[in-house]
Structure 1
Amino acid sequence: MSVLFSGRASGAKANRISALRRFLMFFVHHFRQALASLGELWRTPTASVLTIVVLGLSLTLPATLHLLVKNAQQISGSFAKAAEINLFIRDTASAQQIQSLITILNADKQISSVRHISKEQAMLEFQEASGFGAALSYLTDNPLPDVLVVQPVNTDPSAARALMQQLSNERIVEFAKLDLEWLTRLEAIVGLLQQAVFAIALLLLSAVLFIVSNTIRLSIISKREEIEVMKLVGATDAFIQRPFLYTGFWFGVLGGLLAFLVSEALLWWLRGAISKITDLYQSDFQIQAMNLTEFLSIILLAVLLGVVGSYLSVRRHIRAIEPAGP
């Protein structure tokens, strides 16, 4: 009985070792085929480089447009956060009424802050900004009104407009102003750019699939005799297809890296022109480059395109290759 139990135990152990060995050999075979496919790219540099360049440049355009849209959204978001409501006070309002309104506004939970610009302060700022200081000094009366600059808590355009309508009903308020029409137009343009990026990316990525698929097809045709011999000795279609799939994988990795480098080079080139514009407006805006998530996404997308394009080709052409009969 003990001999039987010992035999079963040794058999189970042998099965576990065999399963582990098969598991390790599976990855070893894949690793070898991946390296072999990378070596195949090195042996055919012209066709490989052309395919990688086309794939990389095809991804560069949508990637760069995405970065530009992202930075445009950053600009519109920063302006939205700076949305302010200007309340122009009636000339007949007394200082006590203005102070009472300021107290009421400060107690409103929809309002973040209130800043009072008096008539005198507004005139001084206008004299400095307009350059007509000497001429304005001859005015007998100050035509500028008191202004309350209200910063809303919710800077969303629709919420800011609703608050402006509410504040314009105050008794001593002549009228209220919230200049957000240009911001709405900017958001519409950004939305249009997003749709354009999606359409351009879809067209270019479809072209990439056809290019990778055609490159793999030519590679299969050049190795037709080798594939026929492999099928004669019993190789399965999956085994024969694997190196070509890894070729598509390497096309994707290298093409994605190229797209990243070219996109960063374009952003670096644009930084000079953008810095000149921001200096004119005394802005500290800095263009945002591709972050880690976007970098990994473009690599993953490129690899997916390479593998799918390769799979579409090998699935059709390798199955069609059969060794000639005797």
Structure 2
Amino acid sequence: MKHWFRLHRLALASTLRLFLANPLASLLNLLVVGIAVALPLGLYTVVANLQQLAGRLPTEPQASVFLTPSANAADLARVQALVKADSHVLAVRHISRDTALKELEQSSGMSELLAGLGSNPLPDTLSLTLREGDTAGLEALATRLKADAAVDQVQLDSDWARRLASIIQVGREASNTVAALFGAGLLLVTVNLIRMQILTRRDEIEVSKLIGATDPFIRRPFLYFALLQGLLGGLVGLAVVALSLDRLNGPIAQLAKLYGEHFALKLPEPVALAVALAIVLLLSLLGAALSVRRHLRALDT
């Protein structure tokens, strides 16, 4: 066991010497790995944050029925009876003109400006909670409501939420595709880098084999080199994503404030980050193993 630990300690020391022998090239390689990690991880982070934001939105379809400013109590009662009689409507909430104006004053902070309007320009509104599923029935309901003279506009409030969910699905598939492409790129970069290391130390490897060095002994420093490069490059990628989110969160917070919301981009959970780093290490190790195996076989022939 002591001999085994000693061999790994020697391999790790050889790996550190490889890094320190050419610090500029090592730094450039780490930046390449870091960028390969940062791009798919950053895209995944944005999609995960949008998914979290979408989860705060109402999932059931909703609609708003805006009455004309001239609609009276009889018109309101008629429209209410029309929507309540429809099987697609689960619940109806009446928002009076005065209530709508008060909510607008509280949310916009423009009470003085609205007070100077004189009369209330907002109409009575019916907020509908609809039943899922029958798109044709919902469209037929909207058509019947629009045909009433007291109805000014019918708006399906959940359409944009469904569009957002579709965009998130596209983003998720795009992040998976980008991750696969950059993962393959990372594998090829590691294979090429280890190949260059082997060619640089070809004479040393041949002499080592002549004096009895085994393939695992020769292979071990290159595997450690790939693991160390993957670990440091993965940390560089995480740092790039974290710094990018920090720069974006300022403008995003200001934008969210305009809509009366509080939202900030966050890094994925530690488990997700650990999985991403483990995948980087695995790809680096796999690339190194393939490259070393191929070139050691070439040296034996």
Q: Report the TM-score, using the length of structure 1 for normalisation.
A: 0.70
Contact 1:62 1:197 in 2 (8 A): yes
Give the whole-Å Cα distance in 2 for the aligned partners of 1:261 and 1:62.
14
Structure 1 residue aligned with 2:175 = 197
How much has 1:121 moved relative to structure 2? Answer: 3.6
Q: Which moved more, 1:32-41 or 1:202-211?
A: 32-41
Amino acid at match of 1:206: A
Structure 2 residue aligned with 1:36 = 13
Contact 1:84 1:151 in 2 (8 A): yes
Structure 1 residue aligned with 2:37 = 59
Q: Which moved more, 1:42-51 or 1:24-33?
A: 24-33
How much has 1:246 moved relative to structure 2? Answer: 1.3
Match of 1:303 among 274, 277, 281: 281
Match of 2:255 among 272, 277, 285: 277
How much has 1:43 moved relative to structure 2? Answer: 2.9
Structure 1 residue aligned with 2:217 = 239
* Cα 1:131/1:83, change in 2 over 3 Å: farther
- SS of the aligned residue for 1:287 comes to coil
- Cα deviation code 1:151-195 (max 9, x no counterpart): 57x9xxx4596996799899x997974322222222222222223
- SS of the aligned residue for 2:213 comes to coil
Structure 2 residue aligned with 1:317 = 295
More relative contact order, 1 or 2 (CA 8 Å, 6+ apart) = 2
How much has 1:88 moved relative to structure 2? Answer: 6.5
Q: Report the TM-score, using the length of structure 2 for normalisation.
A: 0.75
Give the whole-Å Cα distance in 1 for the aligned partners of 2:116 and 2:156.
31
Structure 2 residue aligned with 1:72 = 50
RMSD: 4.0
Give the whole-Å Cα distance in 1 for the aligned partners of 2:11 and 2:62.
59
- Cα deviation code 1:13-40 (max 9, x no counterpart): xxxxxxxxxxx34751464145224422
Contact 2:256 2:262 in 1 (8 A): yes
Give the whole-Å Cα distance in 1 for the aligned partners of 2:208 and 2:64.
80
How much has 1:55 moved relative to structure 2? Answer: 0.6
Amino acid at match of 1:40: R
How much has 1:220 moved relative to structure 2? Answer: 0.9
Contact 1:56 1:259 in 2 (8 A): yes
Give the whole-Å Cα distance in 2 for the aligned partners of 1:301 and 1:73.
23
Give the whole-Å Cα distance in 1 for the aligned partners of 2:244 and 2:75.
58
Gaps of 5+ in 2: none
How much has 1:282 moved relative to structure 2? Answer: 1.8
Match of 1:249 among 227, 230, 242: 227
Structure 1 residue aligned with 2:244 = 266
Amino acid at match of 2:20: R
**Sequence identity (%):** 34
Q: Is structure 2 residue 146 aligned with structure 1 residue 187?
A: no
How much has 1:289 moved relative to structure 2? Answer: 1.8
Which structure's CA Rg is the greater one?
A: 1
How much has 1:262 moved relative to structure 2? Answer: 0.8
Contact 2:15 2:222 in 1 (8 A): no
Structure 2 residue aligned with 1:219 = 197
* Cα 1:177/1:99, change in 2 over 3 Å: closer
- SS of the aligned residue for 1:321 comes to helix
Give the whole-Å Cα distance in 2 for the aligned partners of 1:272 and 1:116.
38
- SS of the aligned residue for 1:288 comes to coil
Amino acid at match of 1:256: G
How much has 1:48 moved relative to structure 2? Answer: 2.0
Gaps of 5+ in 1: 1-23
- SS of the aligned residue for 1:283 comes to coil
